[in-house]
Amino acid sequence: MLRFFAVYGNPIAHSLSPLLHNATYAHLGIGAYYGRILLTDGKSLKESFLSHHLSGANITIPFKEYAYDLCDEVCGIAKEIGACNTWVSVDDTIKGYNTDAEGFYECIKDYGVKSALIIGAGGSAKAVALILKAHNIATTLLNRSKTKLEFFTQRGFNCFLSDEFSVEGSYDLVINTTSAGLNDNLLPCSEEILRDIFNQASYAFDLIYGKVTPFLSLAKDYHLTCSDGRDMLIYQAALAFKLFLPSLHLQAQDIASLMRRVLL
């Protein structure tokens, strides 16, 4: 029986997830298809998932917190994060997971990072912040609005508003978790602040993939080691693949290696 999977988001046309999953299904001889679904209202996520008879789905910007609220059961680190990027249908129950956290850490675990600055405070920022904290990396949050920072303040993170921030220390790693630069030429915060931050940093990471964003372009001016979200996409996709098809008993690293070859 053919099984159907998809990725939800807005925008979503740029997503490479269908390429990664479909090529992997074909390589392994699995009867499955993975598509893209543009969602305009997060509240309709569950209705859409059920009406499309999906066996599983990935959820990206800006619906990860809706995915957390709307699933029937939350599993693993997603409980702490408060955001899901993966849904799996099990016995008429939708189980929610978060593969972003481990997917991100796989990308930076060899950097030797002691401190990090996260720009943004959405679902992806929650995943990144909590996995960094779990590995004892001192983490600060910077965001334009105060409301979303409350989640991080309550969990002991240093938090600042973009308009009120002044650089008083240094950060090994600077991470953009916002959508700034995805379909525009915007920076996630003021250029002046970013220049001060990059002047003392070593690494810049943008969760956006497939393009050199203004954030990464500016970081390169300061000779930082720069990464886009391609490897994070691969790792989180491999972890989601395992959740979608647990009976295959494949290792995430093996799936990730296959997906990387597909992407290259």
Contacts for 264 with CB less than 8 Å, ≥ 6 apart: none
Q: How far apart are CA 248 and CA 64, in angstroms?
A: 27
Task: Report how far apart, in Å, the C-alpha atoms of 53 and of each of 48, 57, 174 are.
Answer: 9, 11, 40
Cα separation, 235 vs 246, in Å, equals 16
The C-alpha atoms of residue 201 and residue 116 are separated, in whole angstroms, by 9
Give the whole-angstrom CA distance, residue 17 versus residue 23: 10
Spatial distance between the Cα atoms of 132 and 136, rounded to a whole number of angstroms: 6
* Residue from 118, 113, 143 nearest 129 by CA: 118
List, as residue ranges, the binding site.
15-17, 60, 85, 100, 120-124, 207, 209, 229, 236
Q: In whole angstroms, what separates CA 242 from the centre of its chain?
A: 17
**Which one is catalytic: 43, 46, 64, 79?**
64
Q: How far apart are CA 164 and CA 259, in angstroms?
A: 42
Is 242 catalytic? The answer is: no
Give dist(CA 136, CA 150) in Å, integer: 21
Q: Per the annotation, where are the binding residues for NADP(+)?
A: 120-124, 207, 229
Q: Which residues are catalytic?
A: 64
